[in-house]
Structure 1
Amino acid sequence: MQGTIYPAQDFNPGMDAEMLYGAFQGMGCDKDVLIDILTQRSNAQRLMIAEAYREVYGRDLITDLKENLSDHFKQVMVGLMYPPVLYDVHELWHAMKAAGTDENCLIDILASRTNEEIYRIKEAYSLEYNSDLQQDLYSETSGHFRDTLINLAQGVRAQGYADPVMAAQDAMVLWEACQQKTGGHKNMLQMILCNKSYQQLWMVFQEFQSISGQDIVCAILSCYDGYFQELCVAIILCLRDRSSYFAYRLHNAIHELGFHNKTVIRILVSRSEVDLMNIRRRYKERYGKSLFHDIKHYASGHYERALIALLAGDVEDY
């Protein structure tokens, strides 16, 4: 795993807080200062800046960002100020409570997070919104898509165990699920995908290939549809290569959805200290053009500059 954002050297939170406060003064906000500081500090350092800002000026930095910025640029800058777990929580809440459920946001987060991350998300969700994540998923989604999301949100995936005999049995169950497509078979499919260890699923998918002569992703794409299909595929792709999954999601958001800003922002902000450098590489390998190229083509102004700054890391690859 390799992100693009690292802790800044010779870090001085008080000086950064002073520069940010100065950027908000006068007739217009100096957005370049905001970009230069907030996209070049780690999340932990940003939280220290926010604390220094509060202590010296008696103001909340997130509130000042919200009041002085607008549109997608504001979403990037504000998003950078949340700890990673709270950012996930914020995105999940708004995916369900805003006008119209954002199913793809639910898929991106819940299909890609580990048991430990899911546990922290559930805890923070309850504290932040005085609400239960699984209950909200139940009320805002439906069908087998809902059941699979709730299963993932339990965070009970088995760890580090692989049984060849069980793998062959699970592969047969998956094959039958792709043939029969009944409600019971969908339940078995989601139970295997959500609860078996990653090591076990690697073996299951190999057995599935042997039994059916087909890759499991191709089989699910041909047998199912809708958000249930998308969620099942996301689980498998994240298991195989999480960075490739997010590269695929970015390409889809940029080219298939007419530059879906929320998705682009969410992935770049949430993966900037995790694997965004890897995502950049996978994107260029798979699609032949760099993320820099595609984002510059569709975004503009300070919004574009903020996204490019998040992507840049130590090496700019145009």
Structure 2
Amino acid sequence: MTYRGSIRPFANFNAKSDADFLGRAMKGMGTDEDAILMLLAARSNDQRQQIKAAFKKACGKDLVSELKSELGGLFESLIVALMTPPISYDASQLHKAIKGAGTNDDVLIEILASRTGAQIKGIIKVYKKEFGGKLEKDICGDTSGHYQKLLVILLQGSREEEVDESKIEKDAKDLFAAGEGRFGTDEEKFITILGNRSPEHLRKVFDVYKKLCGSDIEDSIKGETAGNLENLLLAVVKCVRSVPEYFAEGLYKSMRRAGTDDDALMRIMVSRSEVDMLDIRDSFKKMYGASLYTTIQEDTSGDYQRALLYLCGGND
């Protein structure tokens, strides 16, 4: 597979000289935000962790705490996010979503619908280590009903791997019978099929479903469910169809509404920068006829904007 992230490991990497460089950028009067940005945006997350260790060894101080005391606002939040290992970042975003005032369901939905089984298992471990609680228990304390059930299924991180040819037709018919084909909706069926089958299997099911029903599965979900359950089912379907398209839509929504949703914008740009940002950029251009780069330029400003443009990896 070709690498589709916008941030790559820096070729002639030297953690110690990078740590010294950052120390100098934060010394004396005023902070050289430019220097900090240029350096950290040009390193992979793994390299940033090595810089953090080298900084502690050289100065006896925590690099992230130092950066926090020197920077401010959205730029600070973004730099701190870049300094966090990806799995810890996901875990902390989930913790914030659950433990804050009210539940941020958008974050729960985005992370649990889009991460791989292995990533979810990693998140659960890190969550326990860093926050001392069980992620499943915390999520169950904040959610209910069919929505909660599907979140718990996704938390198992154990989707089937294979396409089961013998089940494709049956799954499509079951979904039809559970929604369009009856009065009221059998949510259990939707949850079981969409939560457990492999993405490749589900793509085939959706094709058969369209032939059966004459409309897309998304239309049925919108017609048959509401609220958080609807949003979660739609996110699962979108990620099955195309994870980059799902995130392109997320980025578009974060910027093209009244006021920018900086939390969502930052979360997606940081968490996908070493995964599939180039594909997200392509999808964004295809879906909205505008480049992600210029959209970010129009919606943000200052050092924060420049950091996001770095993560975008160039203007297409």
Could you tell me the TM-score, scaled by structure 2's length?
0.95
Aligned length: 313
Shift of 1:167: 1.7
Equivalent position of 1:236 in the other structure: 237
Aligned amino acid, residue 169 of structure 1 = K
**Are residues 258 and 143 of structure 1, via their aligned partners in 2, closer, same or farther at CA, if it must alter by over 3 Å?**
farther
Equivalent position of 1:204 in the other structure: 205
**Are residues 263 and 13 of structure 1, via their aligned partners in 2, closer, same or farther at CA, if it must alter by over 3 Å?**
same
Aligned amino acid, residue 96 of structure 1 = I
Distance in 1, Cα, partners of 2:164 & 2:64: 46
Query: Any conservation in 1 of the 2:81–2:89 contact (CA below 8 Å)?
Result: yes
Query: Any conservation in 1 of the 2:168–2:205 contact (CA below 8 Å)?
Result: yes
Query: Any conservation in 2 of the 1:162–1:203 contact (CA below 8 Å)?
Result: no
Shift of 1:115: 1.1
Equivalent position of 1:170 in the other structure: 171
Shift of 1:182: 4.6
2:246 is equivalent to residue 245 of structure 1: yes
Distance in 1, Cα, partners of 2:226 & 2:183: 11
**Are residues 284 and 301 of structure 1, via their aligned partners in 2, closer, same or farther at CA, if it must alter by over 3 Å?**
same
2:85 is equivalent to residue 83 of structure 1: yes
5+ residue gaps, structure 2, are none
Distance in 1, Cα, partners of 2:207 & 2:310: 40
Equivalent position of 2:144 in the other structure: 142
Aligned amino acid, residue 205 of structure 1 = F
Aligned amino acid, residue 80 of structure 1 = L
Distance in 2, Cα, partners of 1:197 & 1:296: 38
2:315 is equivalent to residue 317 of structure 1: yes
SS of equivalent to 1:258? coil
5+ residue gaps, structure 1, are none
Equivalent position of 2:280 in the other structure: 279
Query: Any conservation in 2 of the 1:162–1:199 contact (CA below 8 Å)?
Result: no
Distance in 1, Cα, partners of 2:283 & 2:114: 17
Equivalent position of 2:18 in the other structure: 16
Identity of aligned residues (%): 36
Cα distance per residue 1:64-97 (max 9 Å; x no partner):
1222222211111001111111111111111111
CA RMSD of aligned residues (A): 1.4
Shift of 1:211: 1.1
2:290 is equivalent to residue 289 of structure 1: yes
Moved over 6 A (4+): none
Taking the TM superposition and a 5 Å limit, the aligned residue runs for 1:182-201 are 182=184, 185-201=186-202
Query: Any conservation in 2 of the 1:295–1:304 contact (CA below 8 Å)?
Result: yes
Shift of 1:257: 5.4
